[in-house]
Each structure stands twice: as C-alpha cells, then as structure tokens.
Chain A
Amino acid sequence: MDADTWTRLSEWHNLWLDAAPDERERLRRGFVADHPALEGDVNELVLAGSIVPGFLETPALACMLDDLAVEEAAIAVGTLVGPYRIVECWRVAGWDRCTGPPTSASVVTWP
C-alpha cells in the first residue's frame, strides 16, 4: 500500500465510521465500485474494526502494569544461598527450587 492509497482509504473509512448504520453498506459499495482494487482492504478494515472494538484504547503502560510490577529473578541459577544451591527458577516472580545438604530435598526460596 502506498501513501496515496492510505489517504483514500482513511478518508473513506472515517466517512464510513461517521455514517448511520444503514448508510454504511451503500458507502462501502460506492467506494468499491470506484476503487475495485481496494475491495479487499476495505472489507478487512471494516472486519478488523468490528472484531477488536476498543483496540489500543488502553495505553500500553496500563496494559503492561502486571508485567512491569514483576520483579526480575533475584537469584541466578547456580547461586549458593547458605547451604543451598539454586538449581531451577520456577517462577520469574521469585520461587526458585533448591537442593542442599540438610535434607537433600527440594525447597523453595522467596527472595
């Protein structure tokens, strides 16, 4: 798609959005009749807008709040914590599996 095509599509798309529901199909057919090569783009734009209403309305920062709040792994695999050695990261949020001499059992740490 080039810049001119984008401009034509965008002008039509906004007219279509502003139109009453019963006007929209007439606008779509009229545009496609004038620009048959853009029929696929027109139909896909209309479809995409209806499938994902509200798309991008929430700012990226708000979308990612949970991900940002998660701490990075505090202790690297292989690190000795007292008598224990971290052998596996179970969860990025903090649970690690360790083994050590007192019981030779797996335990978890919470950094």
Chain B
Amino acid sequence: MHRPSGQTADLTGLLQAWDRGDASALEQLAPLLQAELRALARGILAREQAAHGWQATELIHEAYLRLLGWRTNNRWQNRAHFFFTTAAMMRRVLVDAARLRQAAKRDSGVVPVSLEAIDIPAPQQSVDVTAVAEALTALAAVAPRASQVVELRFFGGFSVEETAEALGVSPRTVNADWNTARAWLARELLRQGICGR
C-alpha cells in the first residue's frame, strides 16, 4: 500500500516505540491500523458485491499482508514476536471499532442494516467482541496461557500451529486451552445475558 514517506516514518517510529514498551505508541498506532482494516473491509465487500466470495482465512491473510508491509519498516524479533504484537494490536483496534459502532447505534436511535449482509452468504458470526475482550481480561487472571491462546486465535486469527509456535507449546496444548477457554468465555457471556457464536 502506498503511503507518503512521512507516514511511513511515523509508523516505523511508533512500532519501534511500542517495541520498547512505550504503551502510548499503541494509542497512535491504533487509528492507523483501523484505517487499514476499514479500507480492507470495504475492498472485500466491494469484491463480494461483484460476486467474488471471501473466506475468513483469506481475509486474515490479506490483513496480515498489509501488516507485513509495516514490517518492512520494523524489525520483528522473531515470528512469535510478530504473532503477539499483531494479535494485541488487532484486539485493541477491533474492540475500539466495536465500541464506536455500539455508541453510534445508540446515538442514532436506529440499527444500521448492511445491504451486503442481507443476501450474500459469508462466514459472518454474531459475537459481541467488546464483551469477549472484557471476559478475556478476567480469564487472564486465572489462566494466562489460555487467555493468550484466545487472543492469538480469535483476535489475531492465527492457526493452532502458529499459536503453538508463538507460545512455545504443542498444538495439542493449544487445542486443550482453546476448548476450555471458549466454554469458559461462553459461560461468562451467558451469565451476562450476552449470547454469541
């Protein structure tokens, strides 16, 4: 994706600052990533309207091609570092976007209806991303590794194998954490009266 040189320099500096532990850098990175993902979503849906279907795995792949574009300006320490960094960014950005949309729906008093969602089959799922993120924070206090598994798999979109590589455990361990964490999170959301799939 073409960017003005100034923006590229900003991205490089922000990614490096976040790498060094500067949490405030994420505040500035989030809107840039959100803009990337919004453009990606519009592109995907435009192609969908032109009768080209999409799959969740292709969507994730395309999203990370964009992020890998960022990587050319940043030195990831290793693949695990890339997985953790991008999953954390995705969680932050997607939760922010979900909160914005929830606020917009409340303020406008109407429920926006997506034309694309009406007649085009796509692997869309109903899930309250904000509620999942909050429950995940609670899970982290009890089972930190299982919480990381969910962050990498659900928010990062990474495979079992990639998640295992990031965490330095076997795929079997990832699957075990994933199974129980999903049931635990579903229970938490059901307790709050929030259903999702």
- On chain A, the number of residues with a Cβ less than 8 Å from chain B's Cβ atoms is 46
Instruction: Verify if B123 is at the interface (C-beta below 8 Å from A).
Output: yes
Interface size class of B (residues with CB under 8 A): 35 or more
Proximity bits, B30-57, A CB within 8 Å = 1, else 0:
0000100110111011000000000010
**A11 vs B155: C-alpha distance in the bound complex, in angstroms?**
24
Q: Which single member of B37, B104, B132 contacts A56 (CB below 8 Å)?
A: B132
List of B residues within 8 angstroms of A11 by Cβ: 176
List of A residues within 8 angstroms of B197 by Cβ: 52-55, 57-58
Decide: B180 and A9 in contact? CB cutoff 8 A. yes
List of A residues within 8 angstroms of B9 by Cβ: none
Instruction: Verify if B1 is at the interface (C-beta below 8 Å from A).
Output: no
Q: Which single member of A17, A45, A67 contacts B97 (CB below 8 Å)?
A: A67
**A95 vs B197: C-alpha distance in the bound complex, in angstroms?**
31
Q: In residues 50-98 of chain B, which contact A (Cβ within 8 Å)?
A: 56, 59-60, 63, 90-91, 94, 97-98
List of A residues within 8 angstroms of B177 by Cβ: 10
Answer whether A66 and B114 are a contact pair too, CB < 8 Å, given A6-B146, A45-B187: yes
Q: Which single member of A44, A46, A47, A66 contacts B116 (CB below 8 Å)?
A: A66
List of A residues within 8 angstroms of B175 by Cβ: 14
Instruction: Verify if B5 is at the interface (C-beta below 8 Å from A).
Output: no
Decide: A14 and B179 in contact? CB cutoff 8 A. yes
**A65 vs B59: C-alpha distance in the bound complex, in angstroms?**
9
Q: Which single member of B101, B117, B190 contacts A52 (CB below 8 Å)?
A: B190
Q: In residues 39-71 of chain A, which contact B (Cβ within 8 Å)?
A: 44-49, 51-71
Q: Which single member of A3, A61, A66 contacts B94 (CB below 8 Å)?
A: A61
Q: Which single member of B60, B108, B143, B182 contacts A55 (CB below 8 Å)?
A: B182
Instruction: Verify if A1 is at the interface (C-beta below 8 Å from B).
Output: yes
* Contact surface of A with B, Cβ cutoff 8 Å: 1-3, 5-7, 9-11, 13-14, 17, 44-49, 51-73, 89-93
A-B contact pairs, 20 of them (CB 8 A): A10-B179, A14-B175, A44-B187, A48-B187, A53-B197, A54-B125, A58-B56, A59-B157, A60-B132, A61-B90, A61-B157, A62-B125, A65-B59, A68-B34, A90-B108, A90-B110, A92-B101, A92-B104, A92-B112, A93-B112
A-B contact sample (11 more), CB < 8 A, given A56-B153, A58-B124, A68-B37: A10-B143, A46-B183, A48-B190, A51-B190, A52-B190, A57-B125, A59-B156, A60-B91, A61-B94, A69-B42, A92-B105
